[in-house]
C-alpha cells in the first residue's frame, strides 16, 4: 500500500484540532492506492504507524488514543488528534480529571454536575468507593463537594513515553506518581504507541486480579489518570481507567459482577480469531448479536466495509437458523424496504414477519407490515384477502396505520364489501385523535397520511358531501405534516406520500 503524503499533509494543515482515525483520514483524502476495506488487522496497525510518522516529520503531533478492541475483540485503528507540535502550549485549567489539593490531600476533580447551580465541585480521593443510587439505578464514586476557591489546582506533569506505557500496563498507578509530586499527565513530543503487547499485559493483569466485586470496581474507577496533548485541554487518552476504555468501545459485553471476562474475554476473542476475516470468525451467538448491534449503531454507511456487511448478513442468518428472536425481528424490518446493512427483499421480509407473527414478537406490528406487503403488490400481485385479514387484526389492537389502511380497503372495496361511509368515519375518528398530539407537540407520525385520505373523501364525495374547499384544507395540512416528518428523519414511502399530496393540491387549486 502506498500513501500520497502530500494529500495527507495538506489535510493536517487545514484541519487542526480535528479528531480522526487514520482509516478515516486516508478515506477522506483518497490518499491510498488500495481499498481500505480489504486491509487486514496487521495492515491497519501499520497504517496507524505510517500516518503518525508522516505527521511527526511534517511538524504535527498526532496525539493518539490507544488501540482498543471493538465488540468482537478486533483492534480498531487509533483516533488521532491533529495538533501542531508546539511544546509551549498547555493550559492549566480546572476540568474533569484535574488533580487538586484540598485540606492537604491530593484529590481528583470528578463531578461538575453541581457546579453551575451551587458552585460545587465533587472531589474523589484514592480508594474512593462506588455508591449505588437506587433512584438513578446507577453507581458513582463517593465525592466530597467543595467550592472552587477552597482547592489548589496542581500543575500537570509531562510524562514520557516509558511512563505512559507503564501506566497502561498497570506497572504503576497514577496515585503512586501523585505521591511523588507528578499529577495529571501531559504527553511530551515523543512517539507514544500503545501496542498489542501492552494490551495483552493489561488484560492478563486484570484477569489475574481479585474477583470483580464493587470494591474492585471502585479501585479501578478511582484510578483517574489522563494523558493530555499539549494542544488539547481535553483528555484524549486515559491510561487505565475502565470507564474511558468502555467509552472507547473496548467491549460492550454484559458480564456478572463476579466474572473477570470483561476485558480479557475480548482479548481472547481477538487472539482466537487473529488474521481471520470478520465473516470467518469463530463466535458464539451472544458475540454475533453484539457484533450485529454494533454495526446497526453506525449511522454513516460510509464507515461500513463490504466485509463488515457480509459478516453481518451471515451472522444474522445463522442466528435466525438457531431461532433467535432478536435476529428474526432485525431481518424482518431490515428487509422491509432495506437499510444500510440489508437490501430490500419483500419475500425475505414476509418470511420473517410471519415468524414474528407466529412467535408473538411484536405480533400486531408484524401483522400491519404483512398487510402492507399483501395490499401493495410487493410480491408480484396483490392479495387483498390476506391484507384485509392482517390489517383487521392489527387495527383491533389500535395500530393506527393498520386502521387507516383497513379504511382504505373499505373505501375501495378491496378484500371486503365497499363501504365509503365506514371508511370516512374511521379516517375522521383517527384524525381527531392524532391532530391533538400534532397541534401540541408539532409532530404526528400519521397525520399526513390520514389528512390526505380525508382530503380524498371530500374531493370525491366519498362518505361525505363533496367539498373541494374542505378537501384542499386537508391536503394543505397533509403537506405541512409530511414536510415536518421528512425534516425529522422521515419514514419509508414518504416520497410517494409527498408526491400524492402535491398532485392533490394541484387538482384542487383555485
Q: Is 203 left (phi over 0), alpha (psi -120 to 50) or beta?
A: alpha
Region 234-238 average pLDDT: 28
80, 142: one domain: no
Give, for 233, the enclosing helix (H) or strand (E): strand 232-238
Q: Where are the alpha helices (DSSP H) in 285-418?
A: 285-296, 306-321, 325-335, 346-359, 363-375, 384-396, 400-412
Q: What's the pLDDT at 293? A: 86
Residue 193 pLDDT exceeds 90: no
Its sign, for the CA torsion 260, 262, 264, 270, is: positive
User: What pLDDT does 168 receive?
Assistant: 66
Distance (Å, whole) CA 213 – CA 309: 38
pTM for the whole structure:
0.62
CA angle 126, 131, 136 (to 5 degrees): 140
Does residue 109 form part of some domain?
A: yes
Question: What value, to the nearest 5°, has the Cα angle with vertex 271 and ends 268 and 276?
Answer: 130
**Is the same domain home to 111 and 232?**
yes
Residue 295 lies in a domain: no
Q: Is the pLDDT of residue 334 over 80?
A: yes
In angstroms, the CA 497 to CA 481 distance is 11
Are 66 and 110 members of one domain? no
- Whether 299 maps to a domain, the answer reads no
76's enclosing H/E stretch is: strand 75-76
What domain range includes position 435?
Answer: 430-510
pLDDT recorded at residue 129: 65
Element (H, E) at 479: helix 468-487
**174 and 36 both lie in a single domain:** no
Domain count of the chain?
3
Is residue 412, in this structure, part of any structural domain at all?
no
State the angle between helix axes of 5-14 and 41-57 in degrees (0 to 180), rounded to the nearest 10.
70
Q: Is residue 356 part of a domain?
A: no
The last residue of a domain, from among 228, 247, 266? 247
Complete DSSP assignment for 351-382: HHHHHHHHHTSSHHHHHHHHHHHHHTTTTSS-
Same domain, 225 and 144: yes
What are φ and ψ of residue 33, in 5° steps?
Answer: -95, 10
Q: Are residues 37 and 71 in the same domain?
A: yes
* C-beta of residue 49 within 8 angstroms of C-beta of residue 78: no
As a whole number, mean pLDDT of residues 159-168 equals 69
Greater confidence, 72 or 187? 187
Residues 64 and 106 in one domain: no
Q: Do 241 and 107 belong to one domain? A: yes
231 in the same domain as 128: yes
| pLDDT of res. 353 | 98
Distance of CA 459 to the CA centre of its chain: 45
Q: How far is Cα 401 from Cα 375, in angstroms, rounded to an integer?
A: 13
Q: Pick from 22, 52, 84: which residue ends a domain?
A: 84
The owner of cell 490531600 is 105
Rg for the chain (alpha carbons), in Å?
29
Q: Are residues 196 and 61 in the same domain?
A: no
Q: Which of 236, 314, 242, 303 is nearest to 279 (CA)?
A: 314
Domain identity same for 78 and 107: no
Q: Which three cell numbers stand for residue 371?
A: 398487510
pLDDT, position 437:
82
Is the pLDDT at 178 greater than 70? The verdict is yes
For 375-416, the pLDDT digits (tens) are: 998 998 999 999 999 999 999 999 999 999 999 999 999 999
User: pLDDT per residue over 56-68, tens digit each?
Assistant: 777 765 544 433 3
Local confidence band at 369 (pLDDT 50, 70, 90 cut-offs): very high
Contact 59, 84 (CB under 8 A): yes
Region 259-271 average pLDDT? 58
pLDDT at 253: 32
Cα–Cα distance for residue pair 476/460, rounded to 1 Å: 17
Please provide the average confidence, as pLDDT, over all residues in the chain.
Answer: 76
Asked whether residue 391 is assigned to any structural domain, the reply reads: no
Final residue of a structural domain among 225, 247, 269? 247
Which distant-in-sequence residues (6+ apart) come within 8 Å of 181 by Cβ? Answer: 157
Residue 460: inside a domain: yes
Cell numbers that stand for 99 in this block: 488533580
Domain membership of residue 308 (yes or no) is no
- Let me know whether 164 and 53 are in one domain: no
Residues whose CB falls within 8 Å of the CB of residue 184, separated by 6 or more in sequence, listed in order:
97, 98, 99, 154, 156, 157, 225, 226, 228
CB 45 within 8 A of CB 67: yes
In sequence order, the β-bridge partners of residue 147 are: 120
Amino acid at each position: 500500500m502506498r500513501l500520497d503524503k502530500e494529500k495527507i499533509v495538506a489535510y493536517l494543515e487545514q484541519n487542526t484540532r480535528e479528531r480522526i482515525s487514520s482509516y478515516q483520514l486516508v478515506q477522506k483524502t483518497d490518499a491510498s492506492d488500495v481499498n481500505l476495506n480489504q486491509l487486514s488487522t496487521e495492515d491497519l496497525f501499520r497504517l496507524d504507524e505510517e500516518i503518525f510518522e508522516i505527521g511527526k516529520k511534517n511538524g504535527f503531533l498526532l496525539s493518539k488514543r490507544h488501540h482498543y478492541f471493538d465488540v468482537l475483540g478486533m483492534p480498531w485503528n487509533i483516533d488521532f488528534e491533529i495538533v501542531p507540535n508546539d511544546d509551549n502550549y498547555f493550559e492549566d485549567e480546572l476540568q474533569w480529571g484535574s488533580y487538586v489539593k484540598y485540606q492537604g490531600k491530593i484529590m481528583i476533580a470528578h463531578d461538575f454536575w453541581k457546579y453551575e447551580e451551587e458552585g460545587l465541585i465533587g472531589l474523589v480521593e484514592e480508594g474512593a468507593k462506588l455508591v449505588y443510587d437506587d433512584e438513578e439505578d446507577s453507581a458513582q464514586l463517593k465525592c466530597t463537594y467543595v467550592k472552587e476557591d477552597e482547592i489548589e489546582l496542581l500543575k500537570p506533569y509531562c510524562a514520557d513515553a516509558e511512563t505512559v506505557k507503564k501506566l497502561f500496563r498497570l506497572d504503576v498507578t497514577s496515585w503512586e506518581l501523585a505521591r511523588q509530586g507528578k499529577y495529571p499527565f501531559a504527553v511530551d513530543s515523543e512517539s507514544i504507541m500503545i501496542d498489542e503487547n501492552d494490551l495483552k499485559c493489561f488484560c492478563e493483569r486484570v484477569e489475574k486480579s481479585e474477583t470483580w466485586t464493587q470494591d474492585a470496581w471502585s479501585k479501578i474507577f478511582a484510578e483517574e489518570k489522563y494523558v493530555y496533548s499539549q494542544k488539547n485541554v481535553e483528555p484524549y487518552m486515559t491510561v487505565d481507567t475502565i470507564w474511558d476504555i468502555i467509552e472507547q468501545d473496548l467491549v460492550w459485553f454484559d458480564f456478572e459482577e463476579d466474572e473477570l471476562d470483561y476485558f480479557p474475554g475480548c482479548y481472547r476473542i481477538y487472539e482466537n480469531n487473529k488474521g481471520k476475516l470478520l465473516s470467518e470468525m469463530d463466535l458464539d451467538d451472544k458475540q454475533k448479536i453484539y457484533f450485529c448491534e454494533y454495526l446497526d449503531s453506525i449511522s454513516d454507511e460510509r464507515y461500513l466495509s463490504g466485509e463488515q456487511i457480509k459478516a453481518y448478513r451471515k451472522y444474522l442468518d445463522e442466528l435466525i437458523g438457531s431461532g433467535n428472536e432478536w435476529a428474526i425481528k432485525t431481518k424482518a424490518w431490515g428487509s422491509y424496504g432495506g437499510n444500510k446493512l440489508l437490501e430490500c427483499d419483500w419475500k425475505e421480509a414476509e418470511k420473517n414477519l410471519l415468524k414474528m407473527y407466529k412467535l408473538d414478537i411484536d405480533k400486531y406490528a408484524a401483522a400491519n407490515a404483512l398487510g402492507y406487503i399483501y395490499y401493495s403488490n410487493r410480491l408480484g400481485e396483490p392479495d387483498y384477502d390476506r391484507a384485509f385479514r392482517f390489517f383487521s387484526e392489527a387495527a383491533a389492537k389500535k395500530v393506527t396505520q393498520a386502521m387507516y389502511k383497513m379504511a382504505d380497503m373499505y373505501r375501495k372495496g378491496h378484500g371486503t364489501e365497499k363501504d365509503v361511509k365506514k371508511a370516512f368515519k374511521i379516517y375522521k375518528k383517527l384524525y381527531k385523535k392524532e391532530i391533538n398530539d400534532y397541534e401540541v407537540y408539532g409532530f404526528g407520525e400519521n397525520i399526513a397520511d390520514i389528512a390526505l385520505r380525508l382530503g380524498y373523501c371530500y374531493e370525491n364525495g366519498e362518505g361525505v358531501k363533496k367539498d373541494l374547499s374542505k378537501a384542499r384544507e386537508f391536503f394543505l395540512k397533509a403537506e405541512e405534516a409530511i414536510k415536518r416528518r421528512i425534516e425529522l428523519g422521515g419514514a419509508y414511502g414518504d416520497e410517494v406520500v409527498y408526491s400524492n399530496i402535491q398532485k392533490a393540491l394541484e387538482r384542487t387549486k383555485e
